[in-house]
Amino acid sequence: MTADPATLRNYGYPPRPRDPAALGRWRELLARPLRSIRTTITKRTHRDRRVRFTEGTETGPNWSCAVVFSNGSDTLFMVSGQWRIPDFKAFTVGGERDASVWIGLDGDGTDDVFQAGIHAVMNPGDNEPNLYAWFEWFPDAENAIDLPVGEGDTMTCVITADDDCLPIPAVQIGAWETIKDDHQLIVMHDGKVLDWEPGNGKWRLWRYDSTSKDVLPSLVSSGQWQTVRDGHSLIPMHDGKVLD
């Protein structure tokens, strides 16, 4: 309850809200002593849970939910939920069935969504489902968390996002004529920007200037690598070298 912001971040806890109502909810969620468990994360087959509905209670062909929007220009940075994991009945006809209960931030009308919850999978003849906790940061696949999960358990989930590190308005906005979808831009140790095409090995080194109308205003040098191609990643190191 008294930890400083850096300690909360280091241990994965949501930041302490300033709004009185949000602070009350934060204390309600975190007041009990919590035991930290080291878990294993396993990537699973992608299941698309993006939604595109208006605010309120909504239903669809395979799910139902409540959608809440922020007021005005405010941004939501935390969502929490608590539910009892339901009991699942055995069945004998049909194929695999699955059910999920989850909460998420964003995703309503956009492709960016961070979400987490529980997933149950049953096959005909199973007496009980395969149950597991999961999280997903779209477009990444679902990631299973090896926490013990069972029917009747009470699940509490909290999802948080840091403050926006790229607040509007942008410093500069423009469109390049020659830097396209198949190019990669890499910031170098001396502040210049390396622009290269993995498909053919061509590269250009640009001077960077944030005050210029074009932030890459002038070409320093260019060439074509013989051995650096698709499948390679170039990572600038702190001493000025580049790891290929």
Question: What pLDDT, on a 0 to 100 scale, did the predictor assign at position 65?
Answer: 81
Question: What pLDDT, on a 0 to 100 scale, did the predictor assign at position 32?
Answer: 83
Question: What pLDDT, on a 0 to 100 scale, did the predictor assign at position 187?
Answer: 92
Question: What pLDDT, on a 0 to 100 scale, did the predictor assign at position 161?
Answer: 78
d(CA 119, CA 85): 10
Q: pLDDT below 70 — which residues of the chain?
A: 46-55, 62, 72-73, 107-111, 162-169
Question: What pLDDT, on a 0 to 100 scale, did the predictor assign at position 64?
Answer: 79
d(CA 14, CA 160): 6
Question: What pLDDT, on a 0 to 100 scale, did the predictor assign at position 170?
Answer: 74
Question: What pLDDT, on a 0 to 100 scale, did the predictor assign at position 33?
Answer: 83
d(CA 69, CA 14): 20
Give backbone dihedrals phi and psi of 158, rounded to 5 degrees, phi first. Answer: -130, 130
Query: Are residues 112 and 138 in contact, defined by beta-carbon separation less than 8 angstroms?
Result: yes
d(CA 80, CA 78): 7
Question: What pLDDT, on a 0 to 100 scale, did the predictor assign at position 69?
Answer: 80
Question: What residue segments make up the domains of the chain, in order of their start?
Answer: 37-160, 184-243
